[in-house]
């Protein structure tokens, strides 16, 4: 009998503090109208000084495990997609594992920036299909505001913090239909944090730098391409997709991608207006919201697509 993996639980966590566009106006040369018009973002969540990425991941993970009706100790694989780990090592996944009281199985991080959750989901799917795991916890978690220059209006208005999680379990019925991952490092300079730590000191710029126009064009191109790749692989058409759940970077990118796919926005889960760009957390946050609001229902087909610095991009087609 063929083994599949299926999402059986979802969860999310957003820090209590929110930062509205109106509040940003007081410290940055920008305006609510400028931000809304160009990005669709209205507010974003900012982690508290005591909150780390693994803290955010813990809250989202607990909700996902509870939703799956499992005990923490039923989890035998933890993968955390993050660009903002608690520390250089150990991995955020290992720190999360300890907070969950789990002392067995594998735990590791994946760094593919905003495509990180799709990458992590793909790896977990392969672990389960190969028999190496039964219940995988896949988390996208970010304290991305730690990487921002709060005087750079081109970047600081875009990002927020948060975490989303799913429990992926062994199933006799198809869940993850296919995943498709890509990367091309020649585009690294378009979106990056060029600084690094050496001998205990920071060298170079430790905050996000971005060529916004180039990122927009690239994102729309590869998001539509990798969406069609997933559909073609499964001999499906876009009208068979119930929900598109894209990386929540910018409403204009989301709308342009939907337009290229000839998919109405009524079939797209959008959270960017209240979350901003939460990098690896954005897709699972949107997935969880779709489930909690009753829009995403069991048996429906969802297409997850992401693109991020690297550049990386990927898609996952699944039956929920």
Which residue is catalytic, options 21, 45, 47, 114?
Answer: 114
Q: Are residues 158 and 186 in the same domain?
A: no
Judgement on whether residues 19 and 159 belong to the same structural domain of the protein: yes
Same domain for 120 and 29, yes or no, is yes
Residue 33 and residue 75 share a domain: yes
Q: Look at the pTM and tell me if it is higher than 0.95.
A: yes
Known catalytic membership, residue 277: yes
For 141-160, the DSSP string reads EE-GGGG--TT-TTTTTTB-
Q: Catalytic: which of 250, 275, 277, 302? A: 277
Q: How would you write the pLDDT of the chain (320 residues) with one tens digit per residue?
A: 789 999 999 999 999 999 999 999 999 999 999 999 999 999 999 999 999 999 999 999 999 999 999 999 999 999 999 999 999 999 999 999 999 999 999 999 999 999 999 999 999 999 999 999 999 999 999 999 999 999 999 999 999 999 999 999 999 999 999 999 999 999 999 999 999 888 888 899 999 999 999 999 999 999 999 999 999 999 999 999 999 999 999 999 999 999 999 999 999 999 999 999 999 999 999 999 999 999 999 999 999 999 999 999 999 999 99
The number of domains in the chain is 2
Identified catalytic residue from 94, 247, 250, 302: 247
Residue 16 has φ and ψ, to the nearest 5°, of -65, -35
Judgement on whether residues 23 and 64 belong to the same structural domain of the protein: yes
Same domain, 153 and 188: no
Shared domain for 122 and 230, answered yes or no, is no
Same domain flag for 80 and 216: no
Assess whether 10 and 129 both reside in one domain.
yes
| Alpha carbon distance 236, 318 (integer Å) | 12
What integer pLDDT is reported at residue 82 of this predicted model?
A: 98
Residues 149 and 12 in one domain: yes
Task: For residues 26 and 167, state if they share a domain.
Answer: yes
| Domain residue limits at 255 | 177-319
Backbone angles phi, psi at 97, to 5 degrees: -55, -45
| 64 and 114 together in one domain | yes
> How far is 229 from 235, CA to CA, in rounded Å?
10
Please indicate whether residue 114 is annotated as part of the active site.
yes
CATH code, 300: 3.40.47.10
The domain boundary residue, chosen from 131, 156, 173: 173
* Residue where one domain finishes, among candidates 173, 193, 225: 173
């Amino acid at each position: 009998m063929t083994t599949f993996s299926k999402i059986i639980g979802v969860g999310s966590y957003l820090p209590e503090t929110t930062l509205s566009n109106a509040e940003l106006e007081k410290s940055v040369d920008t305006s609510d109208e400028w931000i809304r018009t160009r990005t669709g973002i209205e507010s974003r969540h900012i982690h508290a000084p005591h909150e780390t990425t693994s803290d955010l991941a813990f809250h989202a993970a607990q909700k996902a495990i509870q939703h799956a009706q499992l005990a923490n100790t039923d989890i035998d694989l933890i993968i955390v997609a993050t660009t903002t780990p608690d520390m250089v090592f150990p991995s955020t996944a290992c720190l999360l594992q300890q907070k969950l009281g789990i002392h067995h199985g594998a735990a590791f991080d994946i760094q593919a920036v905003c495509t990180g959750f799709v990458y992590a989901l793909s790896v977990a799917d392969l672990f389960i299909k190969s028999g190496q795991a039964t219940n995988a916890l896949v988390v996208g978690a970010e304290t991305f505001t730690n990487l921002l220059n709060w005087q750079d209006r081109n970047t600081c208005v875009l990002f927020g913090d948060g975490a989303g999680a799913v429990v992926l379990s062994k199933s006799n019925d198809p869940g993850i239909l296919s995943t498709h991952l890509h990367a091309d490092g020649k585009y690294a300079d378009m979106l990056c944090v060029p600084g690094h730590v050496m001998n205990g000191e920071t060298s170079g710029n430790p905050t996000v730098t971005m060529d916004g126009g180039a990122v927009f064009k690239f994102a729309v191109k590869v998001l539509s391409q990798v969406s069609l790749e997933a559909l073609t692989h499964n001999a499906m058409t876009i009208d068979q997709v119930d929900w598109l759940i894209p990386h929540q970077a910018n409403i204009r990118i989301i709308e342009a991608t939907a337009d290229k796919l000839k998919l109405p926005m009524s079939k797209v889960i959008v959270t960017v207006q209240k979350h901003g760009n939460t990098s690896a957390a954005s897709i699972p946050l949107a997935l969880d919201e779709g489930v909690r609001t009753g829009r995403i229902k069991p048996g429906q087909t969802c297409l997850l697509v992401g693109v991020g610095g690297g550049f990386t991009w990927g898609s996952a087609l699944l039956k929920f």
